[in-house]
Amino acid sequence: MENSTSQSNSVLLVKDKALNRSVWWKIYFWVITFLSVNSLLGLYLVNGFGITEMISSILYVPAAVGFFGYVYSKKILNNKFWLYFLVIYFIWDIAYYFLNEVHLCMCMSRDEYLISYVKNWVFSIPEYFGLFLYSRSSYPLWNKELKSLQNTTKHLQPDPLYDSSDEKEYKKILKKVGAAFLIIGLLAIVETIYSITNNKLNYSFNLSIISIIAGILLLRCGIRTARLITWFAASIISGLIGMVSILLLIQPIRLTITQVKLNPTGALVNILITVIVFAFLYWVYRELTKKSVIVAQKNAGLQPFIPIVAFALGGIITIVHGLLLYLMLYGEVSQLAKAKAREVYGSGYEYHINQASKSGQNVSRNIVAYNDSEIISLIVRCTLDQQTNDFSRCSLRSH
């Protein structure tokens, strides 16, 4: 009897190890889900859905559900369904880029488009890999004996809760951080409502939803949520430092000095907002890496937190984003836009591109024409020539 129980426990431990996804998988799942939803919403709001975008949005839902099942070890439908779906999903993802090549690269040069294409595919590899493992018949989750084996040995599993002063301390910390996130989420909702009623663009809605969800989970003392937020805080801190550095390097110092000279209040407000965001993230990181929280995570069976990896992740994402930003702002279309602005306003100004966008067959570049005493905001819009596949026709207007 003891041998049978020992064997069952060994099998259960092996299966539990195979089914237990690391925090990296959970971070990746929520990041790729957030980016995918925002990408689909962006296509819908800016250009309207075509048939290809409609098919992609339909296929995305089961893809997200299946990947959720893999990451969180949830049994959803059966492995044969996910195998057939994976084949269809993979083929469609390849076909989508060919069907929409002109549409997707209309505001990028060929090199920019190639880098973006490769980056998206590389970033999607873990999702395909997870769906592939989830679709295999040998995947432990589809083993019918697992559930009964877990129930048989459930009484042998250690209780993750512990009775010590650290328990009260870590719960107090989680509730404090959760309350802060909840307040931020509610303020973001108020800002969103204000912007909508005044016909202004606002991107705070996503922030409000994420902050409220994080706040509620932390108020419920979710130790896994705390670990996940710690990873995000560390990566965003390094990413924020990197992005500020990149923007300071990309924007000419003469333009920065002129902006501060002409609008010192606005410059001060931007600096304060950046400092407040950084300080809040640093506070969250320090609170969630205190000893009592780390002990609670270890007691719950979570892997040790490695700060350097999270900080490196934010740095890598920033470098990739900075490269794409540089190519987009200083590519062929951007040079045409600068030439058009210089043709109208002459050599008395210097020209800097601070934003790029697309709409239908048009691409736009927001240009700042500046000297030591004046700043003029301009928009150059170029139309794609379907025959030559270039942007030779450009028009300019002040903004």
pLDDT tens per residue across span 24-36: 788 888 888 877 7
- Does residue 113 sit in the same domain as residue 65? yes
Question: How many other CB atoms are there within 10 angstroms of residue 271's CB atom?
Answer: 11
Question: With contact defined as beta carbons under 8 Å apart, do 359 and 345 qualify?
Answer: no
Q: pTM for the full model?
A: 0.59
Residues 30 and 33: their CA atoms lie apart, in Å, by: 5
- Confidence band of 90 (pLDDT split at 50, 70, 90): confident
Q: Which of 101, 136, 155 is where one domain is finished? A: 155
| Helix extents (H) in 110-263 | 110-135, 144-152, 165-197, 204-219, 223-250, 253-262
- Does residue 209 sit in the same domain as residue 107? no
- Does residue 192 sit in the same domain as residue 323? yes
Strand partners, 365: 356, 380
Strands (E) in 44-111, as ranges, are: none
Residues 350 and 22: their CA atoms lie apart, in Å, by: 50
- Does residue 13 sit in the same domain as residue 104? yes
- Does residue 23 sit in the same domain as residue 141? yes
- Does residue 181 sit in the same domain as residue 319? yes
- Does residue 336 sit in the same domain as residue 321? no
Of 210 and 182, the structure prediction assigns the larger pLDDT to: 182
Question: With contact defined as beta carbons under 8 Å apart, do 324 and 115 qualify?
Answer: yes
Q: What is the dihedral of CA 125, 127, 128, 132, to 10 degrees?
A: 130
Q: What is the dihedral of CA 221, 222, 223, 228, to 10 degrees?
A: -130
Q: Which of 312, 328, 344 is where one domain is finished? A: 328
- Does residue 120 sit in the same domain as residue 234? no
Domain with 182 in it: 161-328
- Tokens, residue 33: 């889900």
Q: What SS3 state is found at 166?
A: helix
Domains in the chain: how many in total? 3
- Tokens, residue 35: 């980016």
Average pLDDT over all residues of the chain: 76
- Does residue 22 sit in the same domain as residue 98? yes
Question: With contact defined as beta carbons under 8 Å apart, do 218 and 229 qualify?
Answer: yes
CATH number of domain containing 339: 3.10.450.630
- Confidence band of 141 (pLDDT split at 50, 70, 90): confident
For residues 168-193, give the mean pLDDT: 88
- For 242, residues 6+ apart whose C-beta sits below 8 A from its C-beta are 314, 315, 318, 319, 322
Q: Which of 102, 132, 155 is where one domain is finished? A: 155
What Rg, from alpha-carbon coordinates, does the chain have?
A: 25
- Does residue 96 sit in the same domain as residue 178? no
- Does residue 141 sit in the same domain as residue 180? no
Among 59-68, 147-156, 182-191, 315-324, the range scoring the smallest mean pLDDT is 147-156
- Does residue 149 sit in the same domain as residue 169? no
